[in-house]
Amino acid sequence: MAFMSRLNLIFAWLGAALFVATGFMLSWEVVARYFFVSPTIWAAELSQLCLIWGTLLAMPWALEKQRHIVVDAFVLLLPARTRTLIDGLVMLLTAAFCAMVVWKGGEIFWDSYIRGRGSGTMLGLPAWIAELAVPVGFVLLFVQSLIEAARSFGGRDTASGGEQL
Amino acid sequence: MTVILIIGALFSLLLLRMPVAFALGGLGLALLLIGGFSPLMAPQAVLSTLDGFILLAVPLFILMSNILLKGGVGRDLFAAFQAWVGHWPGGLAVATLISCGVFAAISGSSVATAATIGTVAIPEMIARGYERKFVYGLLAAGGTLGILIPPSIPMIVYGFITEESVLSLFLAGIVPGILLLLFFVIYSMIYARYLGGYTPEAPVSWEERVRATLRALPSIAMGLLIIAAIYSGAATPTEAAAVGFAFSLIITGVVLRTLTWRGFIDAAFEAMATTVAILLIIAGAKIFGKAITLYRIPQDISAFIGTTIDTPAVFILVVSVVLLAMGLVFEALSMVIIMTPVLLPSASAMGIDPIWFGVFMVIMVECALITPPVGLNLYVIQAVAKAGLGEVARGVLPFLLLMFATVLLLYLLPDLALFVPFKL
């Protein structure tokens, strides 16, 4: 679990760095287009890759730190023990969802990889570079949701949480 | 029947505190499997969501406002407006509201607006003898301007879901946003003059005004620049967000020298957390949206509404009540994401403009932001001011009524929203 926490944190920082990178790439793109009249062919595409990988890699950290958006008005009315049981079951459901996405997302990746499918864009990167992020991210999320389930069944009660906009 | 079962299942999962993203995605995937549709659609939906160029604007706008927040821009804005209008009746309240409005033009988030301006304005207003209840209500409500005045994250998301132009949505938000700000300002002045214990302040010197204005000028210019760039078509919303990010670094890091390395790192990390939460909900909603479309749920709801509700006025009224009821437990973005695909087909069938409907949805979820028990701006103000939730909630009520008035006005005069994007 400690290992997983550390891994989650590393990937969360990686996600943050990738998002910052998109900011630099896309502002460079605007400068290049307006001041040098030479738009890049890579800025938009690499930024989109950063968004995909950044989001999916940081997802398990957000689960561990309870930064995903939740509706907790109802469960807070329940007794603590009931709430921890519900939390555990919900995490098992989440794990099941992840497992299915890993399996099907893996199929998409593997199919593109075997066939050498291109992304059909200017850089012509292979499609699997983006597609691989789905099984990788969701495998990590699968493991993390099992850890969270174990913690909840073990009696850990979380009062409230969630990212806010 | 299927409709009720699906809605029941979704709401049960959500109320049991399943993260909204996974409740939507998981239920969507389950529906695909049960209905015999290809489950490959689930990972495809995740990929197609995150591959969108439009949604790149989300982390960038959040990064930008976090950097400005760390750079203390809220304090500068507030000081500048205070220097100009501080001696009016309710002058501090007016300065607070205008600061919220201007910060809203450089930030796409209500909570960021409420937190940024609230941190500086609340202690100041309370020290000058404003009633606490009023101060809290003012800040919670003023913060909601963040998502009505462009840029706006819920509008980007609405545009992404409905495939409507984010640019048109942004432009459509400008006039209603300014109108709402004006209502808030007028109310605050009347309140301070006749209801609150108003103590007149002496006007500050011209040197002081010029000094404070110069300090706030780069941030104000940036807000105008972003809107101008998007409006003129020089940049897409995503590019404008990227340029805004670069400018926020230059302003706080080079010009004002208020951004530390530590502050930048914190801003980036916090932006990551918010972005991940938002984008995953959209991805989950995309899976869910695919599934319910295959089950023909929006069509069924639309047909049902078509046979029971015959005028747009009644439709808007019913939708308002439903959104307000949801707002009691849901937060703003989840509401936009869940309800838009369900409601928009009916709205279109009634001849309601989708851009107008987007602005209407945003104002209604703003109400959700400040209605207890679940109102994010309430929480923020509560945390910033260390106040009781009840006190904040009572203070918000007059502002909530002003928001309803704005919705009514918007219904009677749709051009308030539609003039700028389509007729100017």
CA-based R_g, chain A, Å: 19
Q: How confident is the model at residue B107 (pLDDT cuts 50, 70, 90)?
A: confident
Of A17, A51, A90, the CB nearest to B56: A51
Contact in structure between B132 and B126 (CB atoms under 8 Å): yes
Question: Is residue B375 scored above 90 in pLDDT?
Answer: no
CB contact under 8 A, B331 and A71: yes
Question: Is residue B403 scored above 70 in pLDDT?
Answer: yes
Instruction: Check residue A116 and give its pLDDT.
Output: 86
CB contact under 8 A, B16 and A86: yes
User: What's the predicted TM-score (pTM) here?
Assistant: 0.89
Nearest CA in chain A to B332: A165
Instruction: Check residue B267 and give its pLDDT.
Output: 93
Range of the domain at A34: 2-164
Q: Residue B245: is it exposed, middle or buried by C-beta count within 10 angstroms (0-12/13-18/19+)?
A: buried
Share of chain A above pLDDT 70, in %: 96
Q: Could you report the per-residue pLDDT of B343-365, keeping only the tens digit for each?
A: 898 899 889 999 999 999 999 98
For chain A, give percent helix, strand, coil, nearest 5. Answer: 75, 0, 25
Count the domains in chain A: 1
Instruction: Check residue B374 and give its pLDDT.
Output: 65
Closest CA to A23 of B347, B138, B248, B241: B241
Long-range contacts of B315-320 (CB under 8 A, 24+ apart): B315/B346, B315/B347, B315/B350, B315/B352, B316/B352, B316/B360, B316/B411, B319/B343, B319/B347, B319/B364, B320/B364, B320/B407
Phi first, then psi, for residue A118 (nearest 5°) are -90, 165
CB contact under 8 A, B15 and A20: no
Instruction: Check residue B197 and give its pLDDT.
Output: 62
Nearest CA in chain A to B43: A105
Share of chain B above pLDDT 90, in %: 43
Distances (CA, A) of B188 to B32, B91, B138, B200, B217: 52, 9, 8, 14, 25
B269 to chain A, closest Cα gap in Å: 5
Task: Check residues B369 and B408 and name the one with the higher pLDDT.
Answer: B408
Question: Is residue B235 scored above 90 in pLDDT?
Answer: no
| A–B CB contacts, 8 A cutoff, strictly below | 211
ipTM of the complex: 0.93
Q: Out of A2-16, B286-300, B385-399, give the one with best mean pLDDT.
A: A2-16
A72 to chain B, closest Cα gap in Å: 5
Whether the bond between B237 and the residue before it is cis, its omega within 30 degrees of 0, is no
Average pLDDT over residues A70-84: 86
Q: How confident is the model at residue B373 (pLDDT cuts 50, 70, 90)?
A: low
Question: Is residue B208 scored above 60 in pLDDT?
Answer: yes
Q: Residue A24: is it exposed, middle or buried by C-beta count within 10 angstroms (0-12/13-18/19+)?
A: middle
Q: Give dist(CA A14, CA B333) in Å, integer.
A: 25
Closest CA to B341 of B367, B361, B316, B327: B361
Distances (CA, A) of B375 to B14, B110, B149, B251, B335: 16, 11, 19, 32, 12
Q: Could you report the per-residue pLDDT of B42-100, keeping only the tens digit for each?
A: 999 999 999 888 899 999 999 998 898 888 888 889 999 999 988 888 888 999 999 99
CB contact under 8 A, B242 and A134: no
Tokens standing for B361?
Answer: 């949805």
Long-range contacts of B300-308 (CB under 8 A, 24+ apart): B300/B2, B300/B3, B301/B3, B301/B342, B301/B343, B301/B345, B301/B346, B302/B345, B302/B346, B302/B349, B304/B3, B305/B346, B305/B349, B306/B346, B306/B349
CB contact under 8 A, A101 and B44: no
Task: Check residues B174 and B195 and name the one with the higher pLDDT.
Answer: B174
Instruction: Check residue B376 and give its pLDDT.
Output: 67
Question: Is residue A72 scored above 90 in pLDDT?
Answer: no
For chain B, give percent helix, strand, coil, nearest 5. Answer: 80, 0, 20
Residues of chain A in contact with residue B234, where contact means CB-CB under 8 angstroms, are 34
Mutation for B interface: A50, A56, A61, A69, most B CBs within 10 A: A69
Task: Check residues A54 and B389 and name the one with the higher pLDDT.
Answer: A54
Q: Out of A45-59, B227-241, B282-296, give the one with best mean pLDDT.
A: A45-59
Residues of chain B in contact with residue A44, where contact means CB-CB under 8 angstroms, are 53
Contact in structure between B158 and B362 (CB atoms under 8 Å): yes
Q: Give dist(CA B55, CA B219) in Å, integer.
A: 24
Question: Is residue A164 scored above 50 in pLDDT?
Answer: no
Q: Could you report the per-residue pLDDT of A96-145, keeping only the tens digit for each?
A: 999 999 999 999 999 999 998 887 777 778 999 999 999 999 999 999 99
Question: Is residue B13 scored above 50 in pLDDT?
Answer: yes
Question: Is residue B209 scored above 70 in pLDDT?
Answer: yes
Instruction: Check residue A159 and give its pLDDT.
Output: 64
Contact in structure between B368 and B324 (CB atoms under 8 Å): yes
The β-bridge partners of A118 are A126
Contact in structure between A75 and B17 (CB atoms under 8 Å): yes
Nearest CA in chain A to B63: A20
Closest CA to B326 of B49, B20, B112, B109: B20
CB atoms within 10 A of CB B139: 31
